Chains A and B, each alone.
Chain A
Amino acid sequence: MKRLLPRLLLAPAVLSLFAWMVVPLVMTVYFSVVRYNLTIPGPRVFVGLENYRYFFTDPAFLTAVLNTLILLGSVIGITVVLGVALALLIHEPFPGRGAVRLLLIAPFFVMPTAAALMWKFMMMNPIYGVLAQISQAFGAQPVDWLTTYPLLSVIVIVAWEWLPFACLIFITALQSLDQEQMEAARMDGATAPQRFWFLTLPHMARSMAVVTMIEMIYLIGVFAEIFTTTSGGPGNASTNVAFLIFKDALMNFDIGVASAGALFAVVLANIAAIFLLRVVGRNLD
């Protein structure tokens, strides 16, 4: 009784998560080695690695991988650099700091579809968008962002959404910075850049690593922002791996190929997850 009850309490969570993650994973592995297209009736034939070959030799594949990496790298770079800068800016008191903090966080709570369409139309529209109007005011030719720089546009939108998240984490990290040590360094004549480089930055290295890993995990799956703005186009210019899998699965109904791609995405995410789990595990005790 004493040992049964704790297990009973835990069982729903464990079993449902098992059904949610492990079962689909097994199904995906199975689908990835059979020929299975929803539009073509007939038995599912074992085809070995043919789906993988198809997915990996799809001309869109290399573009999608490259786009995924560029998106990841750029958004992480932008949010870490600007996030640290913003955190340094607002971590010490100034008039209106509370209001600034509230406002800065707001973009993170905007649902991705709303954020993406707001940028697509109100900001990036080549005629009526605010960005076009500003460039015209300066006498420059307005840019059709989504067709000329589709991937960059997606990067801007996603970075705008994730900057508050990074900033919040960096503010938390700054709060635990040893102020006495800072003061001592100042007394010893260390300049502000020196203090930043030798004290603040090393102190924040850990949270920067964490932000990088976590954004990697979430940004591999960027979907809604692409779906509502560029639909992966023009051509495949803004298609990432997640969107390519979506296209294979729900537009071409090729379950086999989509499953092969899905396993590729899982492997990609696991690279970040392994490192992150180590940090998480250390903090758990």
Chain B
Amino acid sequence: MKTPLHWLALRTVVAWLATLVLVFPLLWLVMTAFKTEVQAIATPPLLLFKPTLQNFATVNAQSDYLRYARNSLVTSLGSTLLGLLIAVPAAYSMVFFRTRRTRDMLMWMLSTKMMPAVGALVPIYLVAKFTGLLDSLIGLTTVFTMTNLPIMVWLLYTYFKDIPNEILEAARMDGASVWKEFRHVILPLGVGGITSTALLAIVLSWNESFWSLNLASFKAGTLSTLIASYSSPEGLFWAKLSAASVLAIAPIIVLGWFSQKQLVAGLTFGAVK
């Protein structure tokens, strides 16, 4: 039975309306980024205006945008690389040298991610303070690595599990060493899974807003920290805030679209199949 046409039309209209209402704040943010500060607070709000790129230049000149962007890039890429370095061998070991305790181990790792970050705030803050890692890129990168590690191990585990064991056994029969087996079998077959995992880790680190607000400020602050600093400024700043936000959000939304499947899998710990 085919859906009647008027039904389809109604559903289309309602779906588009709902979508536009939900993304309206974002569209508005993008528009404001291209307005002058005076236009940004015009009453009634301006829908048509001559776009300007002035804000993007001002944001960079005033708030040292590029430094915060570099910090975001360093911490998210650094923590992702470090995370892969730890998580890939772990997942490999769990899948291909499975023991009775593997399952419990994986569950334990996931359970650490279920702890609220605020539960570890005091000790982590104190350790960072007394080791001089407060407001440092190394400290923040380490923290990001650890917050994402359980999800990375778990995601890689599910990807590696799909690699047929026979291929590995064949390689082992041929006398391949563990390193060769890893280099010539696991890596080529698992590269898709590793890439997806890396993408997710980058998105999560980039948007991380608990530790970057509590452990970093002027020196190691990320874009999230920079944007938070607009929370109580003086004078006209909406257009500048919007420009800074658009620059911080745009690249990650694009990456996010590519990694939405991993994102859901990672954030739900595989509880949804």
Residues on A close to B: CB < 8 A?
Answer: 5-7, 9-10, 12-14, 16-17, 20-21, 23-25, 27-28, 31, 86, 89-90, 92, 94-97, 100, 102-114, 117-123, 127-128, 130, 133, 137, 160, 163, 165, 168-169, 172-173, 183, 186, 207, 210, 213-214, 217-218, 220-221, 223-224, 227-229, 241-242, 245-246, 249-250, 255, 258-259, 262-263, 265-266, 268-270, 272-273, 276-277, 279-281, 283-285
Contacts and interface: CB of A to CB of B under 8 A. Distances in A.
A207 to B, nearest CB: 6
Contacts of A21: 112, 115, 120
Given A123-B25, A223-B210, A13 B86 contact: yes
Given A107-B23, A221-B117, 11 more contacts: A13-B109, A86-B18, A106-B26, A109-B252, A109-B255, A113-B228, A127-B43, A165-B264, A250-B125, A255-B126, A279-B271
A224 B118 CA distance: 12
B223 interface: yes
A136 to B, nearest CB: 8
Nearest to A20: B146
A7 B94 CA distance: 9
B206 A111 contact: yes
Contact of B119 (A13, A92, A262): A262
A9 B122 contact: no
B213 A269 contact: no
Interface of B: 1, 3, 8, 11-12, 14-16, 18-19, 22-26, 28-29, 32, 40-45, 85-87, 89-90, 92-94, 96-97, 99, 103, 105-107, 109-112, 114-127, 145-146, 149-150, 153, 178, 203, 206-207, 209-210, 213-214, 223-225, 227-228, 230-231, 238, 241-242, 245, 248-249, 252-253, 255-257, 260, 263-264, 267-273
Of A16, A31, A169, A268, most buried by chain B (CB within 10 Å of CB) is A16
B103 A285 contact: yes
29 contacts: A9-B92, A12-B86, A13-B87, A13-B109, A24-B122, A89-B18, A92-B3, A92-B11, A109-B252, A113-B227, A114-B248, A117-B230, A118-B25, A121-B241, A123-B25, A128-B238, A165-B267, A172-B264, A172-B272, A207-B272, A221-B116, A223-B209, A245-B122, A249-B122, A269-B119, A270-B114, A283-B273, A284-B107, A285-B103
Of A10, A128, A163, most buried by chain B (CB within 10 Å of CB) is A10
B114 A276 contact: yes
A217 B114 contact: yes
Given A109-B249, A169-B272, A96 B122 contact: no
B41 A128 contact: yes
B228 to A, nearest CB: 4
A10 B213 contact: no
B106 A284 contact: yes
Q: Specify the main secondary structure of chain A where it touches its partner.
A: helix
Nearest 3 pairs of A and B residues by beta carbon? A109-B256, A6-B97, A13-B90
Contacts of A106: 23, 26, 253, 256
B118 A110 contact: no
Nearest to A94: B12
A283 B120 contact: no
A17 B149 contact: yes
Contact of B112 (A20, A242, A262): A20
A190 B185 CA distance: 53
Given A105-B260, A112-B209, A280-B270, A13 B241 contact: no
B93 A10 contact: yes
B123 A109 contact: no
B209 A269 contact: no
B118 A265 contact: yes
Given A24-B124, A284-B103, A9 B90 contact: yes
Nearest to B230: A117
Contact of A122 (B12, B28, B109, B125): B28
Given A28-B122, A262-B121, A281-B107, A242 B256 contact: no
A113 B119 contact: no
B109 A17 contact: yes
Contact of B153 (A13, A86, A114, A160): A13
A169 B119 contact: no
Given A17-B146, A283-B273, A117 B245 contact: yes
Contacts of A263: 119
Nearest to A279: B271
B114 A109 contact: no
Contacts of B270: 280, 283-284
